[in-house]
Every structure is written in C-alpha cells, then in structure tokens.
Chain A
Amino acid sequence: MNHQRFPSHEVKEPHSVSLKVLRLSRPSLVPQFPLHPPVIPPSLTSPIAGTSPAALPQRHLPPLPASLAYSPLGPIKKHGEDAHEAEGAGGERTRDGYYNTEPFILSPIVNLPPSFGSAYVGETFSCTLCANHNAPPIGEGGTSVKKTIRDVKIEAEMQTPSGQTTKLVLGDTAGDDNAGSGSSTANAGNDNAITGSNAIGSEDSNNTTEAKTETETVATLDLLPPSTTLQKILNFGLKEEGTHVLGVTVSYYEATETSGRTRAFRKMYQFICKPSLIVRTKAGPLPSLPPVKAGNGKRRRRWVLEAQLENCSEDAILLEKAQLAEVQRGLKWRDCNWAGIGVGVGQRESTTTGEGISQQSQDQSQGPSRRPFLQPGESEQLCFIIEEMGGGEGDGDGGEQEEEREAVEVEEKNGRIDFGVMALAWRTEMGNRGSLLTLKLGTKHVKPR
C-alpha cells in the first residue's frame, strides 16, 4: 500500500522548547597572575615629564586588585557610600577578607567547564539537560499568540559502543555514580562489584540518597512558564571504549487559546570514550611455603603478580588504589605497593574484599602522599604476592572471621588458577574520580607440589 505521509506545515514551525546540554565535569580553580602596583614618581601626576626625584621609599604593597581572579572589593554600597572605601581591604585581613591566595597562581574561585573535554573509561559522565521555554519576544514576527507549554517530558538514553542502549536516570545532582545507569539489568552484575570496590572512602553516600528519591527515567514537569527551564542531570559510568551516543527526547504539549498539540524532538550527542589506563600483568611462581599446622598438610604455593599501569590519557592521574578483588577462596594476597603492608583474604562475597586491607591504604591524610602521580605517558609498576592459605590457619589480619577454615582447595581449571581481578581507582584534576576492574587474572604455571 502506498502510504503517503501527510505533509504538515507544522513541522517547519520552530519549537517553543529548546534543549541545551552541558557536560558537568569538575569545575576548575581559576589561575591568576598577581601584579605589584606601579610605583609612580610624583612627576607623573601631570603628563608633563620632568626629572624624577631621588629614589622613592619602597614598600611591599599588595597586588593590583585587577590582577587577581576576583575582586577584593565589597559590594557597591547604596546611599552615596563610595565603593572605593572598600578598596582599603585589599591585602589586609579585615573581617570580610577576600581569602585570596595571592601571589599564588591558583585561587579558590572556580570556573564552570569551558568545553566538553575528554571522556575516559572508568569516569562518570555527568551532564545536565535543560529544556527551555523560549517565549518569542512580544512584537517579533510570527505568531503573537500566547502559548502555554505543559507536560514537558525529557528522556535520555545512552548507546554504548557495544550497541547496548540504556535508559538513564534523570536526577537532580551531579555526582560520581559509576553504577547509576538506571534500569538496564545487563549491567547490574558489574555494578555491584564496582560499588563494592568504590565503597572505600564512602564518597557515594550523597549519591545513593539521591538515587533513591529519583528513580524515574522520565522527567516531567506540568507547566513550563516562559523563560524558565526544566533542568535535569544524568550520571553515567563509562565502562567501554569507543563511540557513545547520548539521545535525548523532549516532548511537550503546546496549548494556545484555541488549540493544542503535542510536539516532540530528539537530539543526539556523540562523543568518544578513550582508555585512560592500560594494565599489563604477568604472574610468576615463587618458592612455596611449608604447610601450616592443622591444615591440609600440603606445601603452600605462592605467586607474584606484577602489573604495569600506563597512563595513556592526556591528563595527569593520581593513583588512589590498586588492589586485588574477588580473590578466589583459598588464596590470600599481599599488597607490596605504596599502600604498604596489607593482607587481603579471598572470600566468598566479592563486596567485602575491602576488609582486611591494612588501614594505611584507607587513611589518605597521613603525611605527604606517597601515591603515584602519573603524567601522561608515564607508567607505574605494581606487585602483589598471592599465596595459598592451606586451610585451617588463623589469619594474621585479626581473624575476625568466625567461620571455620575448612581445607579449601584452590580451584584449577584446565591447569589455570584464577587469582581474581584487580581493582584500580584514581583521581584527576580537582578530584575527578575514575575506577576500573580488570578481567580475571591468573596463572597457567601451576608449579608441582
């Protein structure tokens, strides 16, 4: 059947609602270049130049206010008070000091993100969607009929490089939410693991409360008055490399005095997600340990797991955490890196892998940070030691587990022992978080007992 689409002149009429988006990466501290004020010889007060007098007395003066990132001046006072009065505050600490860190280059005032920047795997992509009712100004051409916009709906979905499309939860707050992908079930398994490994530092508490109150993937607003905005924020954890497409659909009901119609439009935004850390690992055997008492009587095998992390992004990365997770039962591992001296135990639940790690890795304010700071292109070598528990021993890490240590045999599949995965977490400028889990790491070199 020849189905002819009825051409409607309405399609050409511009929408009354527009959509604007801004990626909400971290705001950045604004740099400043403070300048000392000029010492002006008295002869300069008239343009006629003359020979200057002897050397003027010098004082170390506070910098020119205009060379700072923000003004030390107070607000304009009403009723004739001179704004210049407040200038005396520059450089002196008054009750309303300006808390500027001059002459240091970084100031405490922040800028919104000037551009999209780069998107990296492991980060949370935060973005604000703004549906605006653009009322045409009175007197302009076109219809001067007053329009009422009702029932505005915004929906957003993210298509990942693997082709999967996820409906996104539209909340009210930007935040780090690597698991906040909304109603897609396919990601749920991974989410748990990631949430677990992110639990250290408890930074997501703010976000989880938000997630509970807004679980809808469709944001609606009953009435959108002219020159107002419906603003929503989405957070999406980037897990895959490649081209992502964010599709946003806005629909609204446009009512005039005489009629009304529902209109909708869709906008697509495409961006590329790049890898930020490349992990290369190698496992090798170590001499085995003698068997434990009350164990299974066998010698305990040991391995060393070496890893090289390379920063392949364009930003500098501060490594916060590099640990093993989901370690197989029957194995325990030791962190030989900057976090020092922790012993982790392979347990049944992957989410509790965080326990047993020494306190040092969690205490972040312990003197100057020894965490590795990787410039773009730099690498860091890591090392972990993994050993069999051999069953029945009391663990050196406090032994808070009440369960019995039966003789747990380490599983071997086709001559390969799986250790677990590596959980990495890092920060970039202004605390921007990233995290990732590697694939299962293991070894094929099973040394004979």
Chain B
Amino acid sequence: MDQESSSSQHPKGHQRTRSAVKATRPRSSTKGPLDVGDTPLASHLLPPQTQQTDQQTSSSHAEQQHQMMIPGGHGHQARAPVSGSPLLPRSPAAHSPAPPHSRRQPPPLSLSPAGPSPRMSFSPGPGSGAASGRGAPRPPPDFSHLLRPDIYHELAPLNVPPPFRQSAKQPSASTPIPDLLARGHFRAAAVAAAQALTGANGAPAPDPADHALILSLFYVRLACLTLIDATALATQEVKALEDLNATFYVDETGHNLIPWELRILAVRLQAISFADQRRAVMSYYDLAREARLRLAEAAAKHDNSEKQLWRERLNDLGVRVAGVLVEMDDLKGAVEHLTSLKESDNGSGKMQMARALLWLHLGDVGAARGCVKPAEGSEGPSDNMTERILHALCDMADGKYSEALNQWEELSKVSDNEMIGVNRGVCLLYVGRLQEGKDLLEGLVDSGRTSHTLLFNLTTMYELCTERSRTLKVQLTEKVAALEPTSFGWEKTNADFKL
C-alpha cells in the first residue's frame, strides 16, 4: 500500500507497520541450566581475576569443593540492589525450565573486603546439606531486601469501628511487640513489625545479617495481617521472600534458616497469590520430606526432644495437606488422605473428630457417626465429650434440630466452651426460639468471647429480629470494644459486625 495514505487522517485499508515500532522481544540469553550462573550484576562488580565462574551448578550431588567466587559482593556493602531481589537475577536465563534444585543462583553476598574467597558447597535442596560447611565459615546472608519500606503496605484503621479507634485500650506506639501479641493487638503488632524492620519508628533497623530477628519480625507481620483479615496484603508482602527453598536460605549446618512457622504460612500465602492450591500440597510434601530427614538426624544424635519436635511437625503437615485438599474441593481425596494418617498417640480424639467433620462437610452423616465410637477402655468423659459433640452435629446435619438442641444443652451444663454455646444458639433459631438464641449469644459476648463466628451469628439474628438492626450492631461494637484485650484478639473490623 501507499505509504502516503498512512499519514492522512483517514487511515483506510492496510497499513504497513514500520519496522521501528515492531514489538521486540527482549534479548534473552541462550544459556541453559548447565551454564554458568553469572548475573549481570556479578559481571559488573567482580574484579577481573575472579571472573571465573562456577561450572557445576546443575548437578544435584554437589559435594565438590570449588574455588568459587561469590559474585556481586566484592567490596560491596549491605544494601541490595534497588531494582530487584538478590535471589533471582535479572537475566531470563534464570527462568530456565530446569527444576529449582538443580541450579542455584548464588546471590550477591556481602563480603568483608579482606576475606579470602570463601568456599561454598552447593546444597541443592533442603535437608541434603549435612556434609557441607567445610572450609571457612560462610558470611551471613544479607537480608536487607526485607528491610525496604516499599514492600510493606499502609495499615490505616479505615474499617475499624469507632468505639475501637477511640478506645483507651488502644496500645501506645512504644509497646513492645510481644506485649502487643499477648493482648491481641494484631493490627498494631503488624505496624510495629514493619516499623521495626524498616527502622521507621526511630529505632535503628536490624542488622541485615541478623536473620533470626528479621525473619521473626517478618513472620509477625504476615501472621498479624492474616489475623486482621488482611490476607490479600500478606500474599503480596510475602513475595519479598521469593523462593523459600533457595540456597540463600541455607545456613552452615545445611538446614534452612527460615523459621518453620514462617515456611508454613508462606506455603499458604503463596498458594493463594498464585491461585493454585496444588502448589500448597507439593510444598507441604517438600516440607515433610525435610522433616523426615531432620527426624532421622535427630534420631542419629539421640536427641529425643528434637525427635519429638519433628514428629509433631510431620503430623501437623499431614493434617494441613488434608485442609488444602478440602479448599480445593477434593473432598474424597481429603477423606482418603486423612484416613491414611496415623492417629497421634495422645488419643485426644482430635483426628477422629477431624475425620468426622470432613464426612459431615461432604454430606455423609452415617460415615461421620461411625468415626467416633467409644474406644475400648476409653479415657472416660473427655472422649465421651467428643462423641457427644459429634452426635449433636450429626443431628443438625440430619435436620433433627430439636434433638441436637437437647444435646447441646446437656453439653453446656458440663462445659462453657464457646463452640458449644454458639452451636446451641444456632439450634435455638432453627427450632423457632430466636429470642432465646439471641440472648444466649449476647451472654457469650458478655462473658468475653468474641470470635468471628459468634459475632456473625449474633448480627444475623439482629437482622432478623428488628428493622433497626444497625442500632443493635453499633451497640454490640461498643460492648465488644469495652471488653478487656486478650490473646484471642480485641480489635474488630466493620465486616465482623456486618456494618
């Protein structure tokens, strides 16, 4: 076509795209997984004689010693490059299809200028680095990427009802974090953790090498965000950690130095942010593999308390996998998985109850009843309680609300547990006794219980019993705000009261 026509105001017909505006794909390196792990940063900052790079990153049996230069660090102090993470270099070669364990990008580490080039053996995956740690001690990893303020969101109390915001019970800004957690001030603790990490509250930021403190604060931040229903923010902030299985996080004993609780939470948050729950299942299995290795190590050292710790962590992981399967709506899979788990030895009936609840969720009430049977030589009233609770729930699932109510009433004489009270209140609604149910739930609030479920059920009853439910809900916020803060939490959001 004519080139002249393209400049007219009526572009018609075909236009030839000029080459200059053609979208180009960024030039990508042709290096593959077996190639050298050099980052653009590394090639910048390394002095020429240390340009020789590692040759064996791909092997997963990396016990060889190498005169290895850790790129990116020579004479270069703590701050991580502003543009990106220290773990994944900018070059697209990093995103090669090789599995993460077989190729490690050594991150830029802060080196003391006078130190010799340290040797580093590659630990390709969690739990296999037992033999590493030879030679000079590795310099501590640099966590300054978690100290940047831009990864933390603002947490304004926009959705907090006024009685909480204006209450005298709000903590002061200088309250230490453990105190905030103990008294349930989770939003304040999240803010304090972010401030402690970024040095915003006047105190200096932590030493970038102090990974225990930094990661602990980071965990406090993420955990508190999930506790105040700001999980979406947490899923974004967790991205700063990148890949938790990277060698960056492996310490000199070869173990992952991220606190276990943070790894567990990160699995869930990353699965949400990628909208892929299967990742969570895979990650839990990876953690389980590591837990087994640690368990074996502890057994070899005859360290019973550590053995116990890892065993409990393993059991915990098993149940969490079942939870993920439930979230994925694979209920049959969850049932089979939960059935395959060994019951822990303390016989608390927790696993039986968990299996029964899963059957109820699925709809098979008969199987649920069959889950909790009185054990031979049972432990007496406590197992009986589990059974009674379960039978009451099964009656509700069968639509027999009157009978369920009788059972909850009997149970509430023995226990003033919040769950029993709330379930009893719900049953009262289903048998036409709304007023009593409402009074019961209000009584629970008066006695200091404030779970989301209790507030939700109570506000639903408010909506049913009057045209002016908003007045009642506001009164409820005042009542809850007047309660003493406990570790269960104190401050609530508007959504908790359906406002």
Interface set of A (CB-CB < 8 Å, partner B): 18, 20, 22, 24, 26-27, 29-31, 33, 35-41, 43-52, 55-56, 58-60, 64-67, 69-76, 83-84, 87, 93, 95-112, 114, 124, 128, 130, 132, 134, 171-176, 203, 206-207, 210, 227-229, 231-233, 316-318, 364-365, 368-369, 371, 373, 375, 426-433
- Distance of A163 from chain B, by nearest CB (Å): 29
7 residue pairs bridging A and B, Cβ less than 8 Å apart: A37-B261, A67-B227, A73-B448, A124-B399, A128-B429, A203-B399, A231-B434
Closest-by-CB residue of B relative to A52 is B212
A59 touches B309 (CB 8 A): yes
B452: chain A residues at CB < 8 Å are 30, 69
Max count, chain B CB within 10 A of own CB: residue among A48, A100, A101, A124: A101
Q: Which residues B243-272 have CB closer than 8 A to chain A?
A: 259-261, 264-265, 268
How many residue pairs link A and B with beta carbons under 8 A? The number is 342
**Measured CA separation A84–B419 after assembly (Å):** 19
How many of B's residues come within 8 Å of A, CB to CB? Answer: 121
Please report whether the interface of chain A is mostly helix, strand, loop or mixed according to DSSP. loop
Binds A, one of B5-13, B61-69, B87-95, B453-461: B453-461
B354 touches which of A47, A52, A67, A101 (Cβ 8 Å): A101
A318: chain B residues at CB < 8 Å are 362-364
A206 touches B402 (CB 8 A): yes
A99 touches B329 (CB 8 A): no
- Distance of A8 from chain B, by nearest CB (Å): 22
B434: chain A residues at CB < 8 Å are 128, 130, 229, 231
B166: chain A residues at CB < 8 Å are none
Known: A38-B259, A49-B210, A76-B448. 15 other contacts (CB 8 A): A29-B360, A31-B326, A38-B216, A40-B177, A44-B178, A44-B196, A49-B203, A51-B213, A60-B312, A83-B486, A97-B417, A98-B417, A102-B350, A229-B434, A318-B363
A44: chain B residues at CB < 8 Å are 176-178, 196, 213, 216-217
A48 touches B422 (CB 8 A): no
A66 touches B466 (CB 8 A): no
**Measured CA separation A24–B427 after assembly (Å):** 11
A27: chain B residues at CB < 8 Å are 396, 426, 430
**Measured CA separation A47–B416 after assembly (Å):** 39
A75 touches B399 (CB 8 A): no
B365 touches A75 (CB 8 A): no
A128 touches B464 (CB 8 A): yes
- Distance of A188 from chain B, by nearest CB (Å): 22
**Measured CA separation A75–B192 after assembly (Å):** 30
**With A98-B419, A203-B399 in contact, is A174–B363 under 8 Å at CB?**
no
A49 touches which of B213, B394, B465 (Cβ 8 Å): B213
B78: chain A residues at CB < 8 Å are none
A173 touches B402 (CB 8 A): yes
A103 touches B320 (CB 8 A): yes
Closest-by-CB residue of B relative to A84 is B486
Cβ contacts B267-294/A at 8 Å (1 or 0 each): 0100000000000000000000000000
**Measured CA separation A219–B153 after assembly (Å):** 55
- Distance of B487 from chain A, by nearest CB (Å): 5
Binds A, one of B14-22, B28-36, B43-51, B382-390: B382-390
Flag whether B75 is at the interface (Cβ < 8 A): no
Flag whether B123 is at the interface (Cβ < 8 A): no
B213 touches which of A41, A107, A134 (Cβ 8 Å): A41
B205: chain A residues at CB < 8 Å are 49
A431 touches B360 (CB 8 A): yes
B465 touches A106 (CB 8 A): no
- Distance of B294 from chain A, by nearest CB (Å): 11
A76: chain B residues at CB < 8 Å are 447-448, 483-484
B419 touches which of A58, A99, A433 (Cβ 8 Å): A99
- Distance of A27 from chain B, by nearest CB (Å): 5
Flag whether B165 is at the interface (Cβ < 8 A): no
- Distance of B203 from chain A, by nearest CB (Å): 5
**With A33-B226, A71-B450, A431-B363 in contact, is A111–B464 under 8 Å at CB?**
no
**Measured CA separation A153–B353 after assembly (Å):** 44
A65: chain B residues at CB < 8 Å are 487-488
Flag whether B332 is at the interface (Cβ < 8 A): yes
Flag whether B361 is at the interface (Cβ < 8 A): yes
Binds A, one of B102-110, B125-133, B154-162, B366-374: B366-374
**With A22-B464, A206-B400 in contact, is A231–B367 under 8 Å at CB?**
no
Closest-by-CB residue of A relative to B332 is A373
- Distance of B193 from chain A, by nearest CB (Å): 9
Interface set of B (CB-CB < 8 Å, partner A): 174, 176-178, 181, 184, 186, 192, 196, 201, 203-207, 209-210, 212-213, 216-217, 219-220, 223, 226-227, 259-261, 264-265, 268, 305, 308-309, 312-313, 316, 319-320, 322-324, 326-327, 329, 331-332, 335, 339, 346, 348, 350, 353-354, 357-358, 360-367, 369-370, 382, 385-386, 389-390, 393-394, 396-403, 415-419, 422-423, 426, 429-435, 447-454, 456-457, 460-461, 463-468, 483-484, 486-489
Closest-by-CB residue of A relative to B390 is A108
B422 touches A52 (CB 8 A): no
A56: chain B residues at CB < 8 Å are 212
**With A43-B213, A96-B417, A104-B322 in contact, is A69–B204 under 8 Å at CB?**
no
**Measured CA separation A231–B433 after assembly (Å):** 7
**Measured CA separation A326–B492 after assembly (Å):** 58
B399: chain A residues at CB < 8 Å are 26, 124, 174-176, 203, 206-207, 431, 433
B418 touches A174 (CB 8 A): no
Max count, chain A CB within 10 A of own CB: residue among B212, B260, B415, B463: B212
- Distance of A42 from chain B, by nearest CB (Å): 10
A49 touches B382 (CB 8 A): no
Max count, chain B CB within 10 A of own CB: residue among A24, A40, A50, A232: A40
**With A70-B419, A173-B431 in contact, is A39–B261 under 8 Å at CB?**
yes
A71 touches B488 (CB 8 A): yes
A369 touches B223 (CB 8 A): no
**Measured CA separation A368–B365 after assembly (Å):** 12
B397: chain A residues at CB < 8 Å are 26, 430-431
A41 touches which of B186, B212, B322, B486 (Cβ 8 Å): B212
A233 touches B432 (CB 8 A): yes
B212 touches which of A29, A55, A97 (Cβ 8 Å): A55
B216 touches A39 (CB 8 A): yes
**Measured CA separation A174–B430 after assembly (Å):** 6
**Measured CA separation A250–B258 after assembly (Å):** 63
Max count, chain A CB within 10 A of own CB: residue among B220, B223, B434: B434
A430: chain B residues at CB < 8 Å are 360-361, 363, 396-397
A232 touches B432 (CB 8 A): yes
B447 touches which of A75, A99, A101 (Cβ 8 Å): A75
B487 touches A60 (CB 8 A): no
B416 touches which of A96, A99, A104 (Cβ 8 Å): A96
Closest-by-CB residue of A relative to B189 is A38
A375: chain B residues at CB < 8 Å are 329
- Distance of A382 from chain B, by nearest CB (Å): 19
A134: chain B residues at CB < 8 Å are 466-468
- Distance of A214 from chain B, by nearest CB (Å): 10
Closest-by-CB residue of A relative to B316 is A103
A103 touches B319 (CB 8 A): yes
**Measured CA separation A124–B394 after assembly (Å):** 18
A51 touches B209 (CB 8 A): yes
**Measured CA separation A203–B324 after assembly (Å):** 32
A83: chain B residues at CB < 8 Å are 448, 484, 486
B331 touches A316 (CB 8 A): yes
- Distance of A269 from chain B, by nearest CB (Å): 14
**Measured CA separation A406–B453 after assembly (Å):** 63
**With A47-B176, A112-B460 in contact, is A66–B227 under 8 Å at CB?**
yes
B484: chain A residues at CB < 8 Å are 76, 83
A111: chain B residues at CB < 8 Å are 453, 456-457
A203: chain B residues at CB < 8 Å are 398-400
B460: chain A residues at CB < 8 Å are 22, 112, 114
- Distance of A199 from chain B, by nearest CB (Å): 14
B430: chain A residues at CB < 8 Å are 24, 27, 173-174, 233
